[in-house]
């Protein structure tokens, strides 16, 4: 009897074979406690040794918004968007959730090499945990928004509740992005070096700091293009929900829902296909 | 100490072939690594490197086959770089084979929870994290928490950040977490080399306990004493090939015979 026959006769399975998608997702779901705990503990560990601790979760995005707001406020002159301060704060805070999911998600496999090589669990948990961690660190800055928007003259309205479905969609979208980026860096390590630049470019082109209609008033085709820019859609919807008076295409909700679902589904499949590949070298 | 006492499992003694749990069939593992510096020039001269960046393929395992059965504890010995750890990682499925295959009844577990832990957090939180990483549920973690703390003998230090622990203390905690789950097939790679003598004794006892509960244990070690005390069978690897596979006494004796005294690792049990 040959060895594979012996294995088959004794009911043994090949080790490390990628499970079918359904089973894979079920196994990943079973690890939900692990995902949440890892996200929470990592976030905490990152802050534990600094004196201000959790305060940094608010301070860091606030300083970011302040500096970018100042520089771009001066550079743009009278092309500044109306209600500039609120525009920038919402833009910068929400964009950080995307940028964090993207860059940290991309490193979730390559940066956890030792873990991937020593324990067997669905690797999906690693990028997802990164997105959850980024979401947790977004919450304090959302709290800050709730405090400072009234100071800027935007009182809470029922429209603020639209932020909840928006954040759900945004999280799905970011998870898809994190999964895609996580696999890409495994194949091409050099991407890790490019990540900060890609994220920077997106930051400057997604309408975080400017008003697309004013900047591109000479180029209407560019404005049309922005109608299909998922990050720009998120920011515009959030601004309309929290500041009101933003004239935006309400089809954005439909567009972005499609973006979110398609990105997530594609990300899941794309990541799952290479499951056996992770931790190989 | 009577060596044979733990070494022969009851079923094996009775002459009944126990059920196979791991079958390794002509396993090859290759690593691709980038080479640099002097090696790249040499490679270019010899035309080993394919293109621009020198990529060298290391053939870490070159056709290893064996069958492991229930209730066996198998020692794995060989000089550094002989492919021991590669073989263990291939058993867990973490390193995919270039050719051949590994079959197992359940996925073998590497006794290595260390990578999931966060040094800046307390031992207590790391117990939570480590157990969840091993696949326990929240409720199960609370049930075994005390057992882990007692077993690691770190009760007084459990609220301190893990980075403040000595390497021996860290090893104890990791071992205690990793063995809390019932493993059907467990791989222990050099974990027993650290920790004090009392802890080593107890961890060896734990391994025998796992084996006696119908488990199968692989132990990679340079300590022939550990191998003799815990393993009934031993595999000797050299340059990615299985040189010898048989009862521990014979294999260890042959291995020690072949290795000159001064090259043999110093880290010997007692």
Q: Which two tokens stand for residue B192?
A: 């027993």
Mean pLDDT for A143-165 is: 89
> H-helix or E-strand containing B5?
helix B4-7
Mean pLDDT for A144-162 is: 89
Residue B98 sits at φ, ψ, to 5 deg, of -80, -35
Contact B104 A30 (CB under 8 A): no
**What is the β-pairing status of strands B73-77 and B233-238?**
parallel
User: Which of B28, B66, B115, B159 is the mutation pick for testing A, counting most A CBs within 10 A?
Assistant: B115
Complex ipTM > 0.95: no
Task: Give the closest of B32, B105, B116 to A119, CB-based.
Answer: B116
**pLDDT 10s digits, B67-122:** 998 888 899 998 888 888 888 888 888 787 888 888 988 888 777 677 788 888 89
Instruction: Name every chain B residue with its beta carbon within 8 A of the beta carbon of A7.
Output: 20, 23, 25, 103
Q: Three-state secondary structure along A200-256?
A: HHHHHHCCCCCCHHHHCCCCHHHHHHHCCCHHHHHHHHHHHHHHCCCCCCCCHHHHH
Mean pLDDT for A192-210 is: 91
Share of chain B above pLDDT 90, in %: 7
* Confidence category of residue B1, pLDDT binned at 50, 70, 90: very low
pLDDT at B2: 41
Of the segments A195-199, B57-61, B151-155, B197-201, which one has the largest average pLDDT value?
A195-199
pLDDT at A136: 94
Checking if the pLDDT of B10 tops 50, the result is no
Interchain contact A217–B (C-beta under 8 A): no
* Confidence category of residue B46, pLDDT binned at 50, 70, 90: low
pLDDT at A176: 97
**pLDDT 10s digits, A44-62:** 888 877 888 888 889 999 9
Contact A12 B105 (CB under 8 A): yes
DSSP reduced 3-state for B24: strand
Mean pLDDT for A211-220 is: 82
> H-helix or E-strand containing B169?
helix B167-178
Interchain contact B55–A (C-beta under 8 A): no
Q: Which two tokens stand for residue A63?
A: 């300083």
Structure-model confidence comparison of residues A261 and B109, the more confident one: A261
Provide the b/e sequence for A230-248 (b: ≥16 CB within 10 Å): bbbbbbbbbbbbbbeebee
pLDDT at B154: 84
Checking if the pLDDT of A266 tops 80, the result is yes
pLDDT at A93: 94
**Beta-carbon pairs below 8 A across chains A and B:** 127
**B129 within 8 A of B117, measured Cβ to Cβ:** yes
Helix, strand and coil in chain A, % to nearest 5: 75, 0, 25
pLDDT at B268: 47
What's the whole-number average pLDDT of chain A?
89
Structure-model confidence comparison of residues A54 and B192, the more confident one: A54
Contact A41 B102 (CB under 8 A): no
pLDDT at B36: 65
**Crossing angle between the packed helical segments A21-30 and A252-273, to the nearest 10 degrees:** 100
Residue located via tokens 């789950």? B181
What pairs with residue A13 in β-bridges? B104
Instruction: Name every chain B residue with its beta carbon within 8 A of the beta carbon of A12.
Output: 20-23, 103-105
Distance CA B170, CA B166 (A): 6
Task: Give the closest of A114, A280, A281 to B115, CB-based.
Answer: A114
Mean pLDDT for A189-200 is: 91
Provide the b/e sequence for A120-143 (b: ≥16 CB within 10 Å): bbbbbbbbbbbbbbbbbbbebbbe
pTM, two decimal places: 0.82
Distance CA B54, CA B35 (A): 5
Distance CA A271, CA A273 (A): 6
* Confidence category of residue B6, pLDDT binned at 50, 70, 90: very low
* Confidence category of residue B4, pLDDT binned at 50, 70, 90: very low
Structure-model confidence comparison of residues A28 and B262, the more confident one: A28
* Confidence category of residue B59, pLDDT binned at 50, 70, 90: confident
Kindly identify which residue of chain A lies nearest to residue B103, measuring between CA atoms.
A14
pLDDT at B214: 63
Contact A120 B93 (CB under 8 A): yes
Checking if the pLDDT of B17 tops 90, the result is no
Residue ranges of B 1-40 with Cβ closer than 8 A to chain A: 19-26, 31-33
Task: Give the closest of B89, B128, B135 to A117, CB-based.
Answer: B89
* Confidence category of residue B38, pLDDT binned at 50, 70, 90: low
């Amino acid at each position: 009897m040959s060895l594979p026959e012996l294995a088959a006769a004794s009911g043994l399975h090949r080790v490390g074979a990628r499970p079918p998608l359904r089973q894979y997702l079920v196994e990943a779901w079973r690890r939900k406690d692990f995902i949440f705990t890892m996200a929470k503990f990592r976030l905490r560990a990152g802050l534990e040794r600094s004196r201000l601790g959790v305060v940094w979760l608010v301070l860091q995005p606030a300083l970011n918004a302040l500096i970018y707001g100042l520089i771009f406020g001066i550079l743009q002159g009278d092309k500044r968007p109306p209600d500039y301060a609120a525009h920038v704060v919402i833009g910068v805070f929400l964009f950080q959730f995307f940028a964090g999911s993207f860059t940290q998600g991309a490193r979730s496999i390559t940066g956890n090499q030792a873990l991937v090589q020593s324990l067997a669990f669905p690797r999906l948990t690693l990028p997802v945990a990164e997105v959850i961690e980024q979401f947790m660190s977004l919450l304090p800055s959302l709290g800050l928004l709730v405090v400072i928007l009234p100071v800027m003259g935007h009182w809470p309205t029922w429209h603020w509740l639209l932020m909840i479905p928006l954040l759900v969609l945004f999280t799905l979208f970011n998870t898809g992005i994190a999964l895609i980026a996580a696999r890409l860096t495994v194949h091409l390590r050099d991407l890790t070096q490019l990540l900060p630049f890609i994220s920077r470019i997106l930051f400057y082109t997604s309408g975080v700091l400017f008003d697309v209609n004013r900047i591109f008033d000479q180029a209407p085709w560019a404005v049309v293009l922005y109608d299909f820019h998922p990050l720009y859609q998120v920011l515009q919807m959030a601004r309309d929900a929290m500041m009101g008076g933003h004239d935006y295409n309400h089809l954005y909700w439909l567009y972005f829902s499609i973006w979110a679902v398609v990105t997530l589904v594609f990300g899941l499949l794309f990541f799952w296909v290479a499951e056996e590949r992770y931790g190989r070298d | 100490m009577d060596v044979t006492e733990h070494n022969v499992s009851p079923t094996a003694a009775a002459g009944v072939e126990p059920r196979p749990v791991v079958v390794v069939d002509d396993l090859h593992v290759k690593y691709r690594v980038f080479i640099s510096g002097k090696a790249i020039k040499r490679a270019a001269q010899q035309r080993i490197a394919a293109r621009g960046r020198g990529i060298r393929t290391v053939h870490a395992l070159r056709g290893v086959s064996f069958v492991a059965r229930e209730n066996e504890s198998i020692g794995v010995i060989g000089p550094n770089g002989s492919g021991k750890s590669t073989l263990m990682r291939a058993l867990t499925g973490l390193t995919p084979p270039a050719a051949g295959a590994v079959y197992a009844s359940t996925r073998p577990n590497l006794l290595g929870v260390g990578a999931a832990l966060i040094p800046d957090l307390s031992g207590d939180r790391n117990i939570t994290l480590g157990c969840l990483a091993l696949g326990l549920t929240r409720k199960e973690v609370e049930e075994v928490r005390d057992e882990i703390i007692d077993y690691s003998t770190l009760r007084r230090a459990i609220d301190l950040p893990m980075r403040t622990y000595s390497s021996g203390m860290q090893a104890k905690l990791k071992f205690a977490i990793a063995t809390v789950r019932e493993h059907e097939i467990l791989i222990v790679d050099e974990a027993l080399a650290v920790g004090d003598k009392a802890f080593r004794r107890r961890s060896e006892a734990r391994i025998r306990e796992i084996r006696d509960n119908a488990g199968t244990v692989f132990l990679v070690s340079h300590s022939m004493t550990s191998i003799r005390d815990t393993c009934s069978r031993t595999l000797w690897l050299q340059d990615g090939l299985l040189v010898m596979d048989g009862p521990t006494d014979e294999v260890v004796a042959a291995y020690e015979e072949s290795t000159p005294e001064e090259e043999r690792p110093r880290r010997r049990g007692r």
